[in-house]
Structure 1
């Protein structure tokens, strides 16, 4: 961004702070990008959020797995059909991460079409 090929990281941080840019590393478990044709799923991706003048920008670094659209829905239904296609393990993850009941977690997952990250974000 700044052409800092040989610039020392501390100097770069200082310059960014002077310009009002705040950079934060996020502890993301999974990032899903949905396009019209497919889903790009990044597991163990490095995610950085940069706040500059009220505008948030996210950078995702990692190797994505490509899935056809709807493939994750089929996999969810195969895991457990008792919750309308949402596996109990997903409900437990959301409940634990967001600190809510399993019923609230299930509702959030259903509202987000089974998207774990979106359900957790909405509950926090």
Structure 2
């Protein structure tokens, strides 16, 4: 109960929402909700989700206990962006492992020539 309001009749709340043009619909059987940012992931299991529509604008209300997880390092994403041909070229020219080639290419902004020089100068 909210202070100063007293008891609220759920039926009156529904009628007031209808007069204001607010539609609310409970989404059934929600298993989990995941919100991803660049650095974190919010996982809400067994969430209660309500879809509300006000003046054509839809919004979701999510109730539940979130589990906050750190996202995997961005370096993993960068590794995927490096072409296989570049990795292979660096490996052939330097005799290094795939992991070393990827690390060097990542540090050299994907430039194979710079990565080769970097590996060769460190030996």
Q: TM-score, normalised by structure 1?
A: 0.51
Larger Rg: 2
Instruction: Return closer, same or farther for 1:22/1:33 CA change in 2, 3 Å cut-off.
Output: same
Aligned residue pair count:
70
1:24 aligns with 2:25: yes
Between the aligned partners of 1:34 and 1:4, the Cα distance in structure 2 is: 37
Shift of 1:6: 2.2
How do 1:1-124 residues align onto structure 2 when only pairs under 5 Å count?
6-27=7-28, 28-70=30-72
Between the aligned partners of 2:71 and 2:13, the Cα distance in structure 1 is: 40
SS of residue paired to 1:7: coil
- Segments of 5+ residues of structure 2 without an aligned counterpart are 74-123
Q: TM-score, normalised by structure 2?
A: 0.51
- Segments of 5+ residues of structure 1 without an aligned counterpart are 72-124
Find runs of 4+ consecutive structure 1 residues off by over 6 angstroms. none
| Root-mean-square deviation over aligned CA pairs | 2.2
SS of residue paired to 2:24: strand
Q: Deviations over 1:23-72 (max 9, x none)?
A: 0001221100112211000000000111111000111100011111139x
SS of residue paired to 2:44: strand
Between the aligned partners of 1:5 and 1:36, the Cα distance in structure 2 is: 43
